[in-house]
Amino acid sequence: MTTRLRLMQGNEAVAEAALAAGARFFAGYPITPSTEIAEIMAARLPAAGGCFIQMEDEIASLATVIGASLAGKKAFTATSGPGFSLMQENIGFAVMAEVPCVIVNVQRLGPSTGIPTAPGQGDVMQARWGTHGDHPMVVFCPSSVREAYDLTVQAFNVAERLRTPVVVLLDEIVAHMREGVELPAPGDLEIVSRPRPAGPPGSCPAYRPIENEVPAVPNFGDGYRFHVTGLAHDETGLPTNSTQVADALVRRLHRKVELFRREITFTRAYLLEDAQVAVIAYGSVARSARQAVKEARAYGVRAGLLQLQTIWPFPQEEIAALSSRVKKLVVAEMNLGQVQAEIERIVSGRARVVSLTNAGGRLFTPGEIRQAIGAVSRGHLKKVVHQ
Amino acid sequence: MEIINQEPVKINQKWCKGCGICTSFCRQEALALNEQGRAVLARPEKCNRCGLCEDLCPDYVLTVVDRVQHREPDQPNGSGWPGIVAPRLADRQVKPGGEGPGTGALPKSELERYLRREKMPHLWCAGCGNGLVVHALLKAIHQLSLDQNKIVAVAGIGCAGRAAGYLDFDTLHTTHGRALAFATGVKLSRPELTVIVLMGDGDAAAIGGNHLIHAARRNIDLTAIVFNNSIYGMTGGQYSPLTPPASRGTTAPYGNIERPFDLPALVQGAGGTYVARATTYHTRLLADLIKGGLTHRGFAFIEAITYCPTAFGRQNKAGSPADALRWQRDRAMNIQAYRRLAHDEKKDRFPIGLLYCSEAPEYGASYSALAAK
Ligand SMILES: Cc1ncc(C[n+]2csc(CCOP(=O)(O)OP(=O)(O)O)c2C)c(N)n1
Ligand code: SF4
Ligand code: SF4
């Protein structure tokens, strides 16, 4: 009997998931700690009938991915902080021109070159707001190898369904650690492809929304002869200077994600039913947090964990509901409080929010988080803890 | 009815911007501008149907009925375009002046097939040469009978980049400087498509310079056309990497002190296998060279020397659009003739024609071969 159990890295899981989700195009530029994804795609895509290309930089990488997607391929790229910074302009293009694509950002310690081999979670806000202008973003954040697989498949599905770029935000630990995982059989996965035009060329403007505010934009080469631009445009795709048309477009881009919010907001609750203190964490930190919660319970503290798998759109309903039940929240993250500030905004005083921060590229130990849980439950800890 | 049917020249006045090119070039003085500044055929009896006005109008306003054929026939062997065109162009002795306007117009009715008519007239200024580059491109596409559904035009940002919006193909207006990278993705995912890349000089050589040399190095099968107007047009006249020394830009108020690129040399050095240059005056050569580029298997680069009367012309007192076309006519020289010039005779001239052509593995073909292993 063959088993699908395999020992693999987070980066490997991302690559496998991309292939399983139908990705047949990868363009990228080497950067630690994401490079394994490019290496695997370079090895696997030719035989899979796809195409790999190493571009001259990350700006070109995402541009090439967008071009490939417009010609009908499921396409993605993978990078880390410095490269993610270079991609920002074209991420905005993909939002505006509604081009499905996936961008994997394996976070390392920043700013700038930082510590390339150290983990970080400092790109949470960049992933949300890195490109200019009002725009929606969908960002997933796995904390295990299996989650890296599942959320990458989701990323492609959401990108295709909503015709929007989706970011998979790993951190170096999740990307490089190895776990034994059993991958779903290919037939068991739900794979989504972009909506295709129902009628022949000329029957419907390329950018007219068809269902749930998403247009069925044709692929290049299929005879529809349409225009794609990052300029504000009308339903035909051709540019406009009308402020009303531009306003309606930007609002529709948001609405299509908003309409789908429930279906793409993933969180995992651990021992929250009776919790008096809740930890909120994501990525590799959620792993320490889970252990910390377990240990705190052994000490008699009723602790629980809310793990965020979707960071954007922000899981505000889940957090609002949590804060109405649990009055003490500990937010642990490998940055100086990027998610904590968002939580503070949603909780707006209904619960105490204590922030556990770390900007040195070091993973929190379960002990550190457990101590914070203990201190908070005894009322000793009021605000920020800098590790 | 917007077309004024005034034999022997049909005039689509709605698109006329009154640039004065046609009236300036009409040797018979048959054309004039009316009070609204639009072209009219003031003396129809004088028109000898040479067709020069039709060829040089950047706005596709004029159609000369039954124009006389003169100079060389448009297609070298008279029977369609041979499969591999580039070496033939290289062999062909193009007589200086023989590649000018005068033949091979694309009749308006045919040209309009390739335009999104509802977007016309285009947004370019009166006398802007961009319309002439687009005309040459459409002529080349028409003469090659390419399938309109299998062409993707990818453009950068700038005045030149706006060309894509007028073309009735699949069109992609990208981010500033990145058109070649977007085009690379399109081409690699659907190699059967003809992918044409339209860029300004700042677009291609400044912000997009890295992509230019790497596309050339890969020898990927794209046809890249740079509209070189020596300036940043869209943003109002800042100097570009192609601005001649001492010319003014709004960011070079005392004259440009930077050295410009020799773009064809750059592309050739980077590995491009088809490198050509023409001007907007040499409309037929430009179309021929684009045609050669479209049939070339590999990275084809065509520099189209064009004039921006607004952002370059005004601050450099470079004259009317018609003056600029005459400047192009007088300064440009066929490459074979240019090579024979002595060093100091080359000073005020620049070469046009197929400057370089070679064969090398094409990226997509190499990738397919690898995938087939
Ligand atoms: C990243 C970025 N930087 C700057 C600009 C502003 N910008 C728009 S067009 C342009 C220059 C256009 O000059 P060129 O490429 O020579 O084309 P032309 O307008 O002359 O045809 C610039 C700098 C931009 N759109 N994007
Ligand atoms: S060249 Fe064309 S646009 Fe210019 S004046 Fe003549 S008809 Fe009008
Ligand atoms: S500014 Fe220059 S390049 Fe731009 S449309 Fe006007 S003339 Fe043409």
- Asked whether residue B296 falls in the same domain as residue B356, the answer is yes
Cβ pair A47:B172 closer than 8 A: no
pLDDT over threshold 90, residue B239: yes
Q: Which two tokens stand for residue B79?
A: 């029977």
B230 lines ligand 3 (CB under 6 A): no
Q: Which two tokens stand for residue A68?
A: 């490939």
Residue among A362, A293, A287 at smallest CA distance from A326:
A293
Q: Select from B59, B75, B91 the last residue of a domain.
A: B75
Mean pLDDT for all residues in chain B: 90
| Pocket-testing residue among B57, B64, B135, ligand 2, by greatest number of atoms within 8 A of Cβ | B57
User: Strands, DSSP E only, in A285-349?
Assistant: 303-308, 310-312, 328-332
Q: How far apart are CA B173 and CA B162, in angstroms?
A: 7
CB contacts under 8 A, B 195-254 vs A, are 210-211, 214
Residues of chain B positioned with their CB less than 8 A from the CB of A228 = 171-173
B308 lines ligand 3 (CB under 6 A): yes
Residue B85 within any structural domain of the chain: no
Summarised one tens digit per residue, pLDDT across range B129-184 is 999 999 999 999 999 999 999 999 999 999 999 999 999 999 999 999 999 999 99
Does B119 contact A at CB distance below 8 Å? yes
- Asked whether residue B212 falls in the same domain as residue B343, the answer is yes
For residue B100, the model assigns a pLDDT of 53
Amino acid of residue B19: C
pLDDT over threshold 90, residue B114: yes
Q: Do domains A3-188 and A267-385 have the same CATH topology?
A: yes
DSSP-assigned letters across all residues of A147-176: HHHHHHHHHHHHHHHHTSEEEEEEEHHHHH
Question: Based on the number of CB atoms within 10 Å of its own CB, is B83 exposed (0-12), middle (13-18) or buried (19 or more)?
Answer: exposed
ipTM of predicted assembly, 2 dp:
0.97
Asked if B200 contacts A250 with a C-beta cutoff of 8 angstroms, the reply is no
B229 lines ligand 3 (CB under 6 A): yes
Residue B63 within any structural domain of the chain: yes
Q: How far is B179 from chain A (nearest CA, A)?
A: 8
Residue B41 within any structural domain of the chain: yes
Nearest residue in A to B156, CA atom: A229
For residue B109, the model assigns a pLDDT of 77
Q: Closest partner residue to B172 among A72, A223, A228, by Cβ? A: A228
Give exposure, A80-105, as e/b (b: 16+ Cβ within 10 Å): bbbbbbbbbbbbbbbbbbbbbbbbbb
B110: pLDDT confidence band, cut at 50, 70 and 90? confident
Q: How far apart are CA A287 and CA A283, in angstroms?
A: 8
For residue B7, the model assigns a pLDDT of 82
Q: Closest partner residue to B171 among A65, A222, A227, by Cβ? A: A227
Residue B95 within any structural domain of the chain: no
Residue B293 within any structural domain of the chain: yes
Rounded to two decimals, the pTM is 0.95
Residues of chain A positioned with their CB less than 8 A from the CB of B192 = 221
Domains in chain B: how many in total? Answer: 2
Task: Quickly count: other Cβ atoms within 10 Å of residue A151's Cβ.
Answer: 26
For residue B95, the model assigns a pLDDT of 39
Domain region containing B25: 1-75
Asked if B46 contacts B29 with a C-beta cutoff of 8 angstroms, the reply is yes
Q: Select from B34, B51, B75 the last residue of a domain.
A: B75
- Asked whether residue B127 falls in the same domain as residue B24, the answer is no
Residue B192 within any structural domain of the chain: yes
Q: Which two tokens stand for residue B113?
A: 């097939």
Q: How far apart are CA A245 and CA A243, in angstroms?
A: 6
Task: Mention every residue, 6+ apart, whose C-beta is less than 8 A from residue A232.
Answer: A96, A239, A240, A241, A242, A245, A246, A249, A250
Given a cut of 50, the residues of chain A with pLDDT beneath it are 1
Q: How far is A323 from chain B (nearest CA, A)?
A: 43
- Domain with residues A3-188, CATH architecture: 3-Layer(aba) Sandwich (3.40)
Domain CATH code at residue B292 = 3.40.50.970
For residue A387, the model assigns a pLDDT of 52
Residue that is written with structure tokens 């739900």 in the block: A190
B253: pLDDT confidence band, cut at 50, 70 and 90? very high
Amino acid of residue A290: R
- Asked whether residue B261 falls in the same domain as residue B362, the answer is yes
- Asked whether residue B239 falls in the same domain as residue B363, the answer is yes
Residue B234 within any structural domain of the chain: yes
Does B327 contact A at CB distance below 8 Å? no
B25 C-alpha vs ligand 2 centroid, how far in Å? 11
CA dihedral for B15, B17, B19, B24, sign (positive or negative): positive
Domain A267-385, CATH class in plain words: alpha beta
Summarised one tens digit per residue, pLDDT across range A78-114 is 999 999 999 999 999 999 999 999 999 999 999 999 9
Asked if B286 contacts B136 with a C-beta cutoff of 8 angstroms, the reply is yes
Total number of residues shown for chain B: 373
Task: Quickly count: other Cβ atoms within 10 Å of residue A300's Cβ.
Answer: 9
- Asked whether residue B22 falls in the same domain as residue B133, the answer is no
Q: Select from B75, B94, B124 the last residue of a domain.
A: B75
Domain CATH code at residue B49 = 3.30.70.20
Task: Mention every residue, 6+ apart, whose C-beta is less than 8 A from residue A340.
Answer: A331, A333, A353, A355, A357
- Asked whether residue B179 falls in the same domain as residue B272, the answer is yes
Q: Whose CA is nearest to atom 6 of ligand 2?
A: B22
- Asked whether residue B154 falls in the same domain as residue B52, the answer is no
- Asked whether residue B31 falls in the same domain as residue B156, the answer is no
The residue extents of the domains of chain A are: 3-188, 209-261, 267-385
Q: How far apart are CA B308 and CA B235, in angstroms?
A: 12
- Asked whether residue B241 falls in the same domain as residue B285, the answer is yes
Residue B101 within any structural domain of the chain: no
Residues of chain A positioned with their CB less than 8 A from the CB of B148 = 225
Chain A residues in contact with chain B using a Cβ-Cβ cutoff of 8 Å = 24-25, 27, 46-47, 49, 51, 53, 55-57, 59-61, 63-73, 75, 89-90, 93, 220-231, 238-239
Q: How far apart are CA A11 and CA B29, in angstroms?
A: 72
- Asked whether residue B188 falls in the same domain as residue B336, the answer is yes
User: Strands, DSSP E only, in chain B?
Assistant: 3-6, 9-12, 31-33, 39-41, 62-64, 151-155, 170-173, 194-200, 223-228, 231-232, 238-239, 274-279, 300-305, 332-334, 350-357
Cβ pair A27:B371 closer than 8 A: no
Task: Mention every residue, 6+ apart, whose C-beta is less than 8 A from residue A127.
Answer: A84, A105, A137, A139, A167, A169, A311, A312
- Asked whether residue B243 falls in the same domain as residue B296, the answer is yes
- Among the bound ligands, name the one nearest to the CA of residue B128: 3
CA dihedral for B169, B170, B173, B175, sign (positive or negative): negative
Residue B301 DSSP SS3: strand
